[in-house]
Structure 1
Amino acid sequence: MTAPIDHQKVLIVDFGSQVTQLIARRLREASVYCEIHPYAKAEAAMAAMTPAAIILSGGPESVHEEGSPRAPQAVFEAGVPVLGICYGEMTMCEQLGGKVEGGHHREFGRAEITVQKSSPLLADLAEVGEDEPVWMSHGDKIVAIPAGFDVVATSPGSPYAVIADETRRFYGIQFHPEVMHTPRGHQMLKNFTHGIAGLKGDWTMAAYRDEKIAQIREQVGSAKVICGLSGGVDSSVAAVLIHEAIGDQLTCVFVDTGLLRKDEAIQVTELFREHYNIPLIHVDASKEFLGELAGQSDPET
């Protein structure tokens, strides 16, 4: 098997934020290879991918809720830079000996952080004493930071808006750098990955595509492949990528359940047969599916 290119990797530990995918997007725009894994599987992901840096995402829960997510302790013992975003900062503080209060400290929307101390995390951004616009979205509030951390920036509602343990390269930010409402958030993330973690930024989607095509060719060889096609993004991308790798060794099967949008089944078949020239078997099973679903109004029951 052809060995994949050994890109430097960033692990994004997902605590359920609605914008976790945006973290990955910003990193990929900066030519950084990254993977998102749920917090419950993060330790296994660390062992498998040996990340050069770790980002803890935001999340909807309070660190004070029973059973609320925590980062694996291995995250803080790996010897790599760690960036906690919003909930990620909260749980990092709580796990490393700081104190977080829940309840009545909600801060949502546009805010200004004031830089109190220089840090490589804020390189090429606001200077000490200057303000930087960010986007806040949190309910808990840090009231004491762990030993070894310093305050880097504050806001009217967050005395610990940015904190840093420069020795261990642990950083926490109370806002969301991944969203467009934090205008220079992409620079903060790049400061973390390139400046602090020392990543080269050698990943591109084009190279990833070529790498995957080569892997598919080697894995499939001269065999035939069947791909179940729904017409959605995931199966469509998989089908096109596989077809680029092995051509007409691939046959797609598209089952029309009758639950797609009007004329969408026609669009799917035309797209794959006429535009991509992919062998496609179209099965119209709409009568069978709709017949079995007669009288049902709630798909969850």
Structure 2
Amino acid sequence: KCDEGLFDLGIPVLGICYGMQLACQALGGKVDNTPSREYGRAMCEFTDRDSIFRGMQESEQVWMSHGDQVSQIADQFTAMAKTSTCPYAAIRHNERPVFGMQFHPEVTHTPHGGQILRNFVIDVCGCDGSWKLGDFADAAIESIRKQVGNKRVICGLSGGVDSSVVAALLYKAIGPQLSCILVDNGLLRKNEQQIVLEEFSNHFKTDLHIVEAEDRFLADLAGIDEPQEKRRRIGHAFIE
């Protein structure tokens, strides 16, 4: 069950599928199992095309995936959409910024689902859509500088996207205070160590230490066929 206090905070809430059922149940509605389960594409009739359904056609394809559904809504709710088997495909609270939809706007099978989410984020939540990835980078760099101060940082570098992005942010934040370590565990792709070294030297002017540990890792993996056990042993070897 959902704590009703969540809806007293005054913040916008969008319940999707099970989330809509939780919201309705918490605020006085009723959820029942239905023999007419909906799994797949469905035609949805939008009876209220203001707010989150601004710009939608009267009838559009949506994606359903549910067995239970809302069978009764409380007096403070209004139905916004329906399908042939789901009378409450979407609802809104009459006083609070609380919305729910039984279908899934986040999947490609709901062609205009992105517009619905955009309407909620911009029109209901008041966001302006001006955020850029560079804003995150600037904030992350400033946060790193405050946290690290004059200390040094060691970064485990694999050459993959995740560790490379972390290394790039660290380097922009603290420069030569950063030292990176690449562990060659014998499982890298052909020439990958050399590729990482070249890319690193082209973009970073700080230390990169190579640990040659092929024998250790391969010895730990000898005779092991089960993938999960391989992962466990690799992780344990890295920690040691």
Query: For the structure 1 residues 96 and 278, does the alpha-carbon distance in structure 2 shift closer, same or farther, using more than 3 Å as the test?
Result: farther
Aligned residue for 1:64?
none
Aligned residue for 2:233?
none
**Equivalent AA in structure 2 for residue 211 of structure 1:** A
Deviation, structure 1 residue 88: 1.3
Aligned residue for 1:85?
16
SS in structure 1 of the partner of residue 64 of structure 2: strand
Aligned residue for 1:285?
213
**Equivalent AA in structure 1 for residue 158 of structure 2:** S
1:129-148 matches, within 5 Å, as: 130-148=58-76
Q: Is 1:184 equivalent to 2:112 in the alignment?
A: yes
Q: How many residues align?
A: 229
Q: Is 1:174 equivalent to 2:102 in the alignment?
A: yes
1:1-301 matches, within 5 Å, as: 70-102=1-33, 104-126=35-57, 130-301=58-229
SS in structure 2 of the partner of residue 240 of structure 1: helix
Deviation, structure 1 residue 300: 3.4
Deviation, structure 1 residue 250: 0.9
Would you say the 8 A contact 1:108–1:138 is kept in 2?
Answer: yes
Deviation, structure 1 residue 207: 1.6
Which has the larger displacement, 240-249 or 272-281? 272-281
Deviation, structure 1 residue 123: 1.3
CA distance in 2, matches of 1:71, 1:273: 52
Would you say the 8 A contact 1:251–1:278 is kept in 2?
Answer: yes
Deviation, structure 1 residue 272: 2.2
CA distance in 1, matches of 2:129, 2:171: 29
Would you say the 8 A contact 1:256–1:284 is kept in 2?
Answer: yes
Deviation, structure 1 residue 91: 1.9
**Equivalent AA in structure 2 for residue 204 of structure 1:** K
**Equivalent AA in structure 1 for residue 145 of structure 2:** R
Query: For the structure 1 residues 286 and 190, does the alpha-carbon distance in structure 2 shift closer, same or farther, using more than 3 Å as the test?
Result: same
SS in structure 2 of the partner of residue 159 of structure 1: coil
Structural RMSD (CA):
2.4
Q: Give CA deviations for 1:160-199 in whole Å, capped at 9, x if unaligned.
A: 1111113112111122222233222222112112212223
SS in structure 1 of the partner of residue 150 of structure 2: coil
Q: Give CA deviations for 1:62-91 in whole Å, capped at 9, x if unaligned.
A: xxxxxxxx4444422211111001121122
CA distance in 2, matches of 1:104, 1:230: 52
Deviation, structure 1 residue 276: 4.3
More helix by share: 2
Query: For the structure 1 residues 158 and 263, does the alpha-carbon distance in structure 2 shift closer, same or farther, using more than 3 Å as the test?
Result: farther
Deviation, structure 1 residue 212: 1.7
Which has the larger displacement, 161-170 or 133-142? 133-142
SS in structure 1 of the partner of residue 60 of structure 2: strand
Query: For the structure 1 residues 140 and 287, does the alpha-carbon distance in structure 2 shift closer, same or farther, using more than 3 Å as the test?
Result: farther
Would you say the 8 A contact 1:150–1:164 is kept in 2?
Answer: yes
